[in-house]
Structure 1
Amino acid sequence: MTLRDVVVVGASAAGLTAAETLRRDGFEGRLTVIGDEPHAPYDRPPLSKQVLRGEWKRERVALRAQESLDALDVDWLLGIRAERLDLAARTVELGDGTRVPFDGLVVATGVQPRRLPFGHDLDGVHVLRGLDDAWDLREALQERPPVVVVGAGFLGAEAAAVARELGCAVTIVDPLDAPMVRQLGAGMAARVARLHIDRGVDLRCGTGVVGFTEEHGRVAGVRLDDGTVTPARVVVVAIGSVPAVDWLRDSGLPVGDGLLCDECCEAAPGIVGAGDVASWIHPRFGRIRVEHRMNATEQGMAAARTLLGHRIPFAPIPYFWTDQYDNRIQVYGRISGDLGFTVVDGDPEEGPFAAVQFDADGRTRAVAAWNMPRIARTWRARLVADAPPPQRTPTTAGVGPVPSPITDVPAVRTQP
């Protein structure tokens, strides 16, 4: 199929990278990028870190200088939502009724934050997804208010760390046993819990939120399922996200937990998915959807090349990181909750450390590191090569000793 009109829906990292790849790989037709925010493509990870701390100005999160964007020869339709896809007519219908034709489509609409069934109309209740969200929350934290973070995943833990660094009294509430336990497993999650407790955070794990109290239209407290009320002038709701696929549900495209794509990121002839919204069949890990920055860039490139006819299975080594206080946690691979970790270097109780998870057949499955980037990269190379684990000897060349399972890390109490 000859492509004349390509439309990219989603103007963040995945969408921008797809557009750049299309041009770099020879597409000379009309290229349109649609984004529901009024901003040119920007980087999201700094929003919960450098932007929230006040270290970066708005313009610093831009992914490209304006002259680079101009050089792409793109029709930018920003600040307007894609409302509907007409698959038969090959058009995207926008919020103002405009229909944009395409013969090639990149779906890169990302995710939307989950919301509580109550309280979001109150002043002081925030979500953190876009640049404007981060800026509003940054301003709210300047007065050092008491803060409650609802949700202890990546976003909630990072926002709580920044608020605490700014001098706010911070409470984290989550129904699970420890922060980030779904992403990191019980052992590393226990270490994250201690990190926040040691910094003075009131950590309420195993606790749910049932409502808010208010004063004159502003949140005043968070009502917990144990009957207590925690004071709050700012509440950050960070309870996860859902793929932004509502505009596709009547289109005939396969949607579920995201846009369902094949191993080459293709959902239908001439239609590909990229970034947080895309669920695809990974050759090793099966059907997955990854909400992390590096994947957005890599999948934007892969999806664009599939659209151009270069069908190569997309098989990256998933990678994510989180910065909390002065600590960086990195994970390569795909952690399984059914498998334990083996510590390969360092001290999992106090100091930097690295740990590895192996499949049942002995292949390296995931690498997790706490302030050990060099060791993490060494083990990533083994993950890429699909090498078997080293023999259990006193030391492993280049990696360090292979001692006890990470499940030996003592549990911590979840409230100070």
Structure 2
Amino acid sequence: MRLVVIIIQILSLFTFSSSESTKHSDISYNKVSKERMNFTELSRECGVYAEEFEVVTEDGYILTLFHIPGKKKPVLLVHGIGDTSNTWVLRGNKSLAIALVREGYDVWAGNIRGNRYGRKHVNLNPDTDETFWDFSFHQVGLFDWPAMIDRVLKETKQTKLNAIAHSQGTTSFFVLSTLKPEYNEKVELLIALAPVAFLDHIGPGMASIAKLGPLIAKVLKTLRINEIFADGNADKKLMESFCTLGKLTEKICTIFPLGIITGINPDGIESEFIPLLFSQYFAGISRKTLEHYNQMYFSGKFAQFDYGPSNNLLVYGKIAPPEYDLSKVRTKTAILYGENDMMATVEDVQRLGRLLPNLVCIKAIKDEKWTHIDFTWGREAYKYLFGHIIELLNKNGR
């Protein structure tokens, strides 16, 4: 039965794409020292030193926020689904956080509830209290983003910051800026990497899984599984062990569950990077988050969680869940997307762009093979991506 659960959990993942190349490793991989490093340790490997802060959200979640000091305006980095702040330093000296530090920016790397840096609460125990996991990207936007923004502004004595978000980080930011529009005044510029607000045109691999979403959710609820792929769980250990057996399994893991779901870039990720990647990635996902994205796929709308008609009446006062009003996103927004991204597809990203009232840029990365995960883990992100980000910050993030 447990094997069945593991398979179901793998199928339920909204994961992101990468691929393999066995040449030209970007950083020196040391399995013993790097695979279990935290953000501070990974940063120190690059010669920079990070501070650590605890941030308490309005609803009691305790999150870890990392800071690498700089003289320029603060930049808050927020990761995607199942990820952590480590994603911004995982490529060593060719990581985005390190590139920003070298440019003089004051870098802050956030974490959301439920990942390995967000498994604490003032009252709830994530291992025993199911209520801890009763959240999706909605609560991340409503509570986690405000707590992180306010702490950064307090520590830096600034009135505004710039933000860079990937995937679910963008989804939750749009929740924040529509439901708490006053935060539009606290963020000068959002650089949205592979933003997700609509899922109408996702690739066939992910669409096949999404169609099974209601059944998967029902099984997981029956088994009372609220957390997926957490550190130490059997499903995470199985994935990590399988994907690091050797070059054959490393190649398989770049195709499924990664590449087959959101696109394959043959030059995206080299095999030497896979052990480090799978030791760090999948840091905890709530079942409700996957359900919420699945609802977006079926409805074609960017809307709040659907509890069913009768419960929606109790929660929202109407039968259908309200949509997030993207016309309220007044923050200057720059969108960068990949033409081979099967998660944040060209069509869905362009639809989002048309609805944002203060869009300053929407641009495809100049590598036609670019996928969803190349924004964070791509071997050549420093070559195709970082220049755009620095230019946008210099021009629009003052």
TM range (shorter): under 0.3
Higher strand fraction (1 or 2): 1
The structure that has the greater radius of gyration is 1
Higher helix fraction (1 or 2): 2
* Length-normalised TM-score, structure 2: 0.28
Higher relative contact order (CA 8 A, sep 6+): 2
